[in-house]
Structure formats: structure tokens, C-alpha cells
Amino acid sequence: MSNPISNLRKFVSPEIIFGVGARRTVGNFARNFGAQRVLIVSDPGVVAAGWVADVEASLAEMEIDYRVFTQVSPNPRAEEVMAGAQLYIQEGCNVIVAVGGGSPMDCAKGIGIVSANRQHILMFEGVDRIHAPIPPLIFIPTTAGTSADVSQFAIISDTDTMMKVSIISKAVVPDVSLIDPETTVTMDPFLTACTGIDAMVHAIEAFVSTASGPLTDMYALEAIRLVADNLPQLILEPGNLQLREHLMLASLKAGLAFSNAILGAVHAMSHSLGGYLDLPHGLCNAILVERVIDYNFHSAEDRFRVVAETLGVDTRGMIAKDVRKALINRVRLLKEAVGLTQSLASTGVSRADIPVLSGKALTDPCILTNPRKSCKRDVEVVYEEAL
């Protein structure tokens, strides 16, 4: 008889408001948290798109004072987090609102951590290292893929070591996520493709993770289906708000899945790549995903068969090696349909970089829930195949 304790699973999630116009409710939620002065964390591109102005208007309507911090890079850096935390403390803020993609949201999480715990952000690398409660977080995602608005992950770049640091704690799960599909209409096709594939990889890795369970499986599979059914058409019809809504829903469901089931080797290797060469995270995932599926397949054959079926592959009568081949081909075709056919070499990675990248990937917490245990040479081979 199995030990029932081994089947225990926890599931964390923010309060979620989903739908067009959700961003305009931010003032109400800030008031509910007793906001006296809000720090809005964003980036110049999101400001230029007009989404920060909507947040400012909502806060002003509720007569809530605010400050704006936009010094955020595409891969948020530790020094940016520290600068934002200094502003938060100096200005006497007591609520944080993040508007943007994964970078502003991760930076906002870091600002919350530092402002409450008064230590350098890099001190919190790892799992459950945050002790003092952080300020209320209200997040408004403007991309459909990173899922930082619902996850217990914060990914921060350490420019000294050229590594991405993973901070995993339920303390950084936002209090409220205002998910408004309209905010994604300003994404260009490349960003739409990268974030869409990122959502799919989140879902696949969550489903085959050693920490998966029934609470996460249902979200993971639905996210995979939503991406496969809608992303290629969205690239052709970027103004189609219904397709945008489907992708935003995929991002949400993938985020709920991976936040609770954690991830795997694709993300461990992507974090290493992104930290070392400052590459777009979604692109790194896209380049690596089918190589990691190939590597992991025989450690989770039954689960990968379900992934293949969810992607539309008819696996009836197929033996395992045929399922593996069909799944990898289906993923490649989906990537081609959205214009992501790059190799690692095309992004500037050389064979000489691979030992360093592999060593760093093995220290990433995401590798711990990968279905197949890995040594450095295993990871090196996957990187080499992706060149």
C-alpha cells in the first residue's frame, strides 16, 4: 500500500481577474490593499504602448499617489532590482503594481523582496529563502507567455556571474493578477511567437515534471491545446482579439501548472543561455524544446504520448519510438508555422560556450524536477544538437 503522504500536493494562485478591461480595475484593488503610495514597475516599451497611462488614470481616479520605475532590462538585472527597491523605500510606497511582460513583473517581485527583507536580491536564490512578508503585488501582464503574474518564480540576472538566478517562493505569487488580453495587441509577431512557445514549453514541462499531479495536469494539457490551436493563426491575424484572449488564457493555465509542478531541463538550459548571452527567454526555449523532449522521452513515455495526442497527433497503433518521432515533428512544425526556426549558432552560441552553459544549467532548480536525471555531459550533448 502506498504512503498517502507521498501524494500530497499544494497549489498556489493569486486572485485572478480575466477579460478585456481588467487593467482598469487596478485602482480599486490598490485601494482595497490600503495603498497610500504605489510604485508602478514597467519598462519604456510598455510606457510607449500606453498601458502605464491606463494604470495611472485608474489610480488617480481613486486619489492614490504613485511613483513610476521603468529602469528594467529585457532580462531584469540585480542592480535594477536594488535601484527599484531604493526608490520604493525612499518614496514611502506600500503597494507594488507591475505592468509589462516577464521582466517588469520579475523585477517588481525582486523589489518587493528587498524592500521587506533589506538584503541584496541575490541572497534569496533558491527555494523558500524569503522570511519577511513582501508588500501587496498587483500584476498586469502585457505578454501572453511568461506567466510571471501567477507564478511563484522570480528570475533575476546576475551580471557579475552572467547567470540567471531563480527565486522560488509562494511569497512572490502576486496577490492579484489583472489579465487583460487587450494589452497584448501591441506585441510584434516575433514577441507573440516567442511568448506563445514559452507558454507551451511551460505546459509540457509541467506535465512531465516529477512534481506534476492532477491539480496541475488539467491546466497544462489545456494550455498546450490552446497554444497549438491558436498561435499560428494569431501570427497571421495579430489584431484578432479573440485569438489574443485564447493565448492569454493559455499563458494563465500554463503558469498555474508550472508554478505548482515546477519545470525541467528546457528552462534550466534556457536560464543558463539567457544569463550568459542575454538572449530572449522564449527564443531559447523554442530552440531547445524538441531536443530536450528527445532526451527525456523514454523517462516519461506515457506522459509524452498524452502531450502528442493533445497536440493533435493520432498515436493509435504507434509504438514508443514512433510516438517520439511524431511528437518531435509536430513541435518542429508548430515552431516553423510561427517563424521560430533559429539554431543556437545563429544566436551567437559557439561550441566553446557549451561547457560553461552546461555547468550553469545543472545548478538551476528547474533541473531537479526534470523527468530524466542529468549529468554535465548529458546537457552538453543537448546543447550541441541545438547548434
Model confidence pLDDT, tens digit, residues 46-63? 999 999 999 999 999 999
> Is the domain of 276 the same as that of 137?
no
Q: Domain ends where: 128, 152, 183?
A: 183
262: containing domain: 189-386
How much is the pLDDT for 9? 81
Q: Would the pLDDT of 277 be above 80?
A: yes
Q: What is the mean pLDDT of residues 30-44?
A: 97
Structurally, the chain folds into a number of domains equal to: 2
pLDDT tens-digit profile of 286-318?
A: 999 999 999 999 999 999 999 999 999 999 999
Percentage with pLDDT > 90 across the chain: 95
Residues 351 and 287 occupy one common structural domain = yes
CA nearest neighbour of 203 among 285, 323, 136, 91: 285
Mean pLDDT score of the chain, rounded to an integer?
Answer: 95
The interaxial angle of helices 320-337 and 281-296, nearest 10 deg, is 170
pLDDT at 5 over 80: no
- Residue 348 CB burial class (10 angstroms; 0-12, 13-18, ≥19): exposed
Q: Is 37:67 a contact under the CB 8 Å cutoff?
A: yes
| Domain containing residue 177: CATH number | 3.40.50.1970
- Report pLDDT for 215: 95
Q: Is residue 194 part of a domain?
A: yes
Render pLDDT for 329-386 as a digit per residue (tens, 0 to 9).
999 999 999 999 999 999 999 999 999 999 999 999 999 999 999 999 999 999 999 9
For position 10, what pLDDT does the model report? 84
Whether residues 342 and 214 share a domain: the answer is yes
Q: Which pTM was predicted?
A: 0.95
Q: What is the mean pLDDT of residues 140-153?
A: 96
Say whether both 159 and 198 belong to one domain.
no
Instruction: Using pLDDT thresholds of 50, 70 and 90, give the confidence band for residue 6.
Output: low
Q: Does residue 2 belong to any structural domain of this protein?
A: no
Side-chain-facing half-sphere of 11: CA atoms under 13 Å: 14
Residue that is last in its domain, among 157, 183, 209: 183
The 10s digit of each residue's pLDDT in 168-201 is: 999 999 999 999 999 999 999 999 999 999 999 9
The Cα–Cα gap between 97 and 81 comes to: 14
Domain boundary pick from 123, 158, 183: 183
DSSP letter string, 117-176 = H-S-GGGG-EES---SPPPPEEEEE-SSS--TTT-SEEEEEETTTTEEEEEE-GGGS-SE
Q: What is the pLDDT of residue 1?
A: 42
- pLDDT at residue number 136: 98
pLDDT tens digits, 201-212? 999 999 999 999
**Claim to verify: residue 39 and residue 177 sit in the same structural domain:** yes
Percent of the chain with pLDDT over 70: 98
Convert the pLDDT of each residue in 82-135 to its tens digit. Answer: 999 999 999 999 999 999 999 999 999 999 999 999 999 999 999 999 999 999
Together in a domain, 112 and 74: yes
pLDDT of the residue at 278: 86
The rounded Cα 251 to chain-centroid distance in angstroms is: 8
pLDDT score of 2 more than 80: no
- Based on the fold, state whether residues 280 and 135 are members of the same structural domain: no
Residue range 11-36: mean pLDDT, rounded: 97
- Per-residue pLDDT tens for 7-21? 778 899 999 999 999
Strand partners, 68: 40
Averaged over 156-176, what is the pLDDT?
94
